[in-house]
Structure 1
Amino acid sequence: MKCRHAKDSDLDKVCDLLAKEFCHDPIYKVLFSGRDDRVNILRDYFRIYVNIEIYRKGTLLSENDTDVLVYIRPEFIAEIVETHAQADEELRKVCGSSYKAASELINGLDRLHPLNPPHYFISLQAVQRSARGGEVVESLFRTLHDIIDKDKLPCYAECTRFSTRTLIRRWGYRDADFPLHIRGFPDLYPVWRDPKQLSMK
C-alpha cells in the first residue's frame, strides 16, 4: 500500500476523514459535548490546522484515501503557539459556544509540549474503520519513519486513548512521560520514538 503527501485539492477529503473518525474520540466528545453537529464542527475545526500542514508538506494520505497522518516538522515546532494565536479568531467562529473549552485544550497542549530535543510531532492520525487492521497504517508509519530516521531525529505524539498508546508501540514508540492532564478533559498519553540507525550500503 502506497501513500503520498496530500495536496491542496485533498484538503476536503482529509478533513472529512478526520472529522468522521474523531467524532467519538474521548477528547472531542468532551470538547463538543451535546453538539448534534459534531462532525460538521470537527470538519471545520481540523481544516484550520490541516490546511497549514498540507502547505508545509506535513500530511500523509493513503492511496485509497482511507488513512491520514498529519505531522509537524521540527523547524515548525517552535511556531506552534504562534500558529494557534494567529488562528484564534477562526477558532472562535468555528467552535462557537465551545470556544473556551477548545482554547483551554489547545493552550494546555501547547504548554505541555516538549521543545527539546528537536523532534517531529504527529498531531493527528485517523483510519477508516473498514480499513483498520490492514497495511494502510503500516505504510504511513513506514513513510514517516523513513523521513525522520534520515534526519536522525525522534518523533513525539499524544494518544487520546490508552489502547492507541498500546498499539503504537509496535512501531517503536514508548511512553514519553506520565499521562497529560488538562482540566476538564480525559488524560492523554504521550509517546516517543527514537530514530533508528540507517544501515550504510
Structure 2
Amino acid sequence: MSPTLSPSPSPNLSRSRVTHLSALLASSFHNDPLARWMIPNERLRTELLPGFFRVFVELSAAHDGVLTTPDGDAVLLFLPPGAEPDEAALDAAFTEALGEHADALRTISALQAEHHPHGPPHYYISFGAVRPGRQQGGLISHLLTTLLARADAEGVGAYTEASSPGGEAATRRFGFDRLGGDLELPAGGPVLRPMWRDPR
C-alpha cells in the first residue's frame, strides 16, 4: 500500500489540523443541499460553516473518530459504538458557531435522533470530504474501507445518512442498504436517507 494513502487515526489533533480539516469540510459541503437549507445565505454559509464543522471535528477527535490521509487532503468523521456526546455542551457549541441558524440544525438533529438505530452497536459516520483537485482518486474510499474493516473485525455495524443521490450510491458500493424511510426536512427542505451496513 502506498504510504501516502495510509490513513491516520487522530485522537489528539493539533489546533492547526482542526482548522485545516474544518475548512476542508466547509468547502466540500458549501453547496450541499443540507447546508443550503440550514444557512440559505451564501455569504453567511461561507462565514459560518468552518465553525460548524470545527464542532464536529473536535467531537469526533474526542472519541478517536477522525481518519485522514497523512497530507490532510481527505477526512472521514465518525463516532464509535458506545460514544455518548454531551448533548447540552454540543448545543451550546453549535449555537455559538451558528447563531440564529442553530434552530435549523436542531430541526435536523431532532429528525436524526428520531430515526437513529438504537439496537445493535455500530459506527456512526457523519461526514467525509476530499480536497478539490484530488477527488475521484479513491482517497475517501480508502478511509471508508479502513473504518469498515475495523467494524467488521469488531463484529459491529455501520450507519450513516446520505444527503444526496451520489452519497447514497457511494455507500451502496460499500454494502450499505436503506434503513427505514427518508428523513424529510420541512418547508420543502432536502431529504436524508438512512443507510445501514451489517458487519461482514
Q: What TM-score does the superposition give when structure 1 sets the normalisation length? A: 0.89
Matched, 1:73 2:77: no
- Give the distance between the partners of 1:14 and 1:163, measured in 2 at CA: 22
- Give the distance between the partners of 1:14 and 1:170, measured in 2 at CA: 25
Amino acid across the alignment from 1:106: S
Amino acid across the alignment from 2:88: A
Matched, 1:195 2:199: yes
* Residue number in structure 2 paired with 1:135: 138
Matched, 1:108 2:111: yes
For structure 2, which runs of at least 5 residues remain unmatched after alignment?
none
- Give the distance between the partners of 2:135 and 2:42, measured in 1 at CA: 27
Matched, 1:8 2:13: yes
Matched, 1:23 2:30: yes
Matched, 1:37 2:44: yes
Identical aligned pairs, as a percentage? 26
Decide which of 158, 162, 183 is 1:180's aligned counterpart: 183
Q: CA-to-partner distance for each residue in 1:139-184, whole Å, 9 max, x for gaps? A: 1012101210111011000011022101221111111222212324
For structure 1, which runs of at least 5 residues remain unmatched after alignment?
197-201
Q: What TM-score does the superposition give when structure 2 sets the normalisation length? A: 0.89
Amino acid across the alignment from 1:56: H
CA-based RMSD of the aligned residues comes to 1.5
- Give the distance between the partners of 2:171 and 2:93, measured in 1 at CA: 32
- Give the distance between the partners of 1:40 and 1:2, measured in 2 at CA: 32
- Give the distance between the partners of 1:130 and 1:174, measured in 2 at CA: 30
Distance 1:135 1:99, change over 3 A: closer
Decide which of 162, 175, 182 is 2:165's aligned counterpart: 162
Matched, 1:149 2:152: yes
User: Are the aligned partners of 1:48 and 1:90 in contact in 2 as well (CA < 8 Å)?
Assistant: yes
Offset at 1:85?
Answer: 2.3
Distance 1:58 1:128, change over 3 A: same
Q: CA-to-partner distance for each residue in 1:30-63, whole Å, 9 max, x for gaps? A: 1000141313311101112321211221010112
Q: CA-to-partner distance for each residue in 1:61-90, whole Å, 9 max, x for gaps? A: 1122111110111111xx25xx33222222
Secondary structure of the corresponding residue to residue 8 of structure 1: coil
Secondary structure of the corresponding residue to residue 131 of structure 1: coil
User: Are the aligned partners of 1:123 and 1:158 in contact in 2 as well (CA < 8 Å)?
Assistant: yes
